[in-house]
Amino acid sequence: MQLDNGEYRVYGHLERYTSAIEAMVRERQYATRKYTTVIMFKKDQIRFKKGEVIALSGESGVGFPHLHYEHRSRTNVPRNPLAHGLYVKDTRAPILQEIAVKPLRPGSTVNGCDSVYVAALKGGTKNQYAVERPIQAYGCIGFALNGYDCADAAGNKFGLYRTRLFLDDSLLFSAMYDSFNFETTRQVHLDRDLFLIRSGMGDFYNLYREEGTILPFYGDFPANAGLLGVQDLPADGLHRVRILADDVSGNSAEATIALYYIKPPVIARIDLLPHGKSAHFVAHIEPGGFPVRKTDFFISPDGNQWKKILSREVLAQHYYSCEADSTPLGFFYVKALASDSLGFESTPLVTGYASSIPRKAVSLPSPELFLSAQGDLLTVTLISGAPLPREPDISVSINDTAIQLPIPRSSRPGEYTVKFRAAFSGQKNLGVVATVLDFNGSARVFGKQFQVGGSSRESGIVVTSPDNIASAYVRKGAVFNQTFIWLQLYPDSLVRTWPELVQASLSYAFEPGVVYYDQKLSIGIKAPRKPKTGLFTSKGGEGWRFNSSEYDTKSGNYTGAIWEHIPFCLFTDEIPPAVSFRPGQGKPDTVPGQGLLISVDDRGAGINAESINAFIDSQWTLCEYDPEKKSVSVFMDSVTAGNHLLSFSVRDNLDNETVVSVPFVRP
Q: Tell me the pLDDT band of 469, cut-offs 50, 70 and 90.
A: very high
Cβ neighbour number for residue 561 with a 10 Å cutoff: 15
What is the model's pLDDT at position 588? 41
Q: What is the mean pLDDT of residues 480-489?
A: 84
Of 72 and 315, more confident: 72
Looking at residue 577, what is its pLDDT? 96
Q: Does the pLDDT value for residue 587 go beyond 50?
A: no
Q: Is residue 395 part of a domain?
A: yes
Residue 457: per-residue pLDDT: 67
Find the mean pLDDT for residues 375-394. Answer: 81
Clarify whether residues 311 and 402 are in a common domain: no
- Mean pLDDT in residue range 15-34: 89
Q: Domain boundary at 523, 556, 572, which?
A: 572
Structurally, the chain folds into a number of domains equal to 6
Q: Residue 629 is part of a domain; what is its CATH number? A: 2.60.40.1220
Give the CATH number of the domain where residue 271 resides.
2.60.40.10
Give yes or no for residue 316 having a pLDDT over 70: no
Q: Residue 238 pLDDT more than 90?
A: yes
Predicted pLDDT of residue 586: 41
Q: What is the DSSP letter of 197?
A: H
Same domain, 117 and 167: yes
8 Å CB contact between 450 and 426: no
Query: What pLDDT does 120 receive?
Result: 96
Q: Does the residue 583 lie in any domain?
A: yes
The answer to whether 176 touches 186, Cβ cutoff 8 Å, is no
Rounded-to-integer distance, Cα 383 and Cα 377, Å: 20
| Residue finishing a domain among 33, 48, 76 | 76
Judge whether 197 and 132 are in contact, CB under 8 Å: no
Q: Which of 192 and 481 is assigned the larger pLDDT?
A: 192
Statement: residue 523 has pLDDT above 90: yes
Which value, in Å, is the radius of gyration of the alpha carbons in the chain? 31
Domain that holds residue 204: 95-261
The confidence score (pLDDT) of residue 424 equals 63
**Nearest-CA neighbor of 102 among 290, 230, 240?**
230
Contact 333, 364 (CB under 8 A): no
Residue 363 is assigned to a structural domain of this protein: no
Q: What are phi and psi of 80, to 5 degrees?
A: -65, 110
pTM listed for this prediction: 0.84
d(CA 322, CA 324): 7
Same domain, 376 and 338: no
Contact criterion met (CB below 8 Å) for 452 and 486: yes
d(CA 455, CA 425): 7
∠ at Cα 374 (368, 380), nearest 5°? 25
The last residue of a domain, from among 219, 239, 261: 261
Per-residue pLDDT at 640? 86
The pLDDT of residue 666 is above 70 = yes
pLDDT in tens, 563-574: 989 999 999 999
Cα(35)–Cα(28) distance, rounded to whole angstroms? Answer: 9
Does the structure show a pLDDT above 60 at 356? no
Question: How many residues make up the chain in this entry?
Answer: 667
- 629 in the same domain as 609: yes
Q: What is the mean pLDDT of residues 104-113?
A: 87
| Mean pLDDT calculated for residue range 321-347 | 80
Other C-beta atoms closer than 10 Å to the C-beta of 494 total 12
360 falls in which pLDDT band (50, 70, 90)?
very low
Q: Looking at the domain assignment, is residue 432 inside a domain?
A: yes
pLDDT of residue 357: 47
Q: What is the mean pLDDT of residues 582-603?
A: 65
Same domain? For 145 and 216 the reply is yes
Strand boundaries in 341-408, DSSP class E: 349-355, 368-374, 377-383, 393-398, 401-403
Q: How far apart are CA 318 and CA 323, in angstroms?
A: 17
Same domain assignment for residues 631 and 483: no
| 216 and 107 in a common domain | yes
Question: Is the domain of 506 the same as that of 599?
Answer: no
- How far is the C-alpha of 663 from the C-alpha of 660, rounded, in Å? 10
Residues 14 and 65 in one domain: yes
What is the average pLDDT across 453-464? 79
Looking at residue 161, its pLDDT comes to 96
- Write the DSSP symbol of residue 289: S
50 in any annotated domain: yes
Identify whether residues 244 and 284 lie together within a single domain: no
Same domain, yes or no: 474 and 564: yes
Mean pLDDT taken over the chain: 86
Residue 305 makes CB contacts below 8 A (sequence gap 6+) with none
How far, in Å, CA of 489 to CA of 508, rounded? 5
Task: Specify whether 152 is located in the same domain as 247.
Answer: yes
Closest CA relative to residue 409, chosen from 390, 431, 437? 390
Average pLDDT of the residues in 459-486: 85
In a domain, 81, yes or no: no
Alpha-carbon gap, residue 595 to 633, rounded angstroms: 7
Note whether residue 3 is domain-resident.
no
Mapping DSSP to helix (H, G, I), strand (E, B) and coil, where does residue 360 land? helix
Average pLDDT over residues 348-370: 67
Burial state string for 283-322 with b = 16 or more CB within 10 A and e = fewer than 16: bbbeebbbebeebbbbbbbebeebeebebeebeeeeebbb
> Per-residue pLDDT tens for 132-190?
999 999 999 999 999 999 999 877 889 999 999 999 999 999 999 999 888 888 888 88
Residue 87: inside a domain, yes or no?
Answer: no
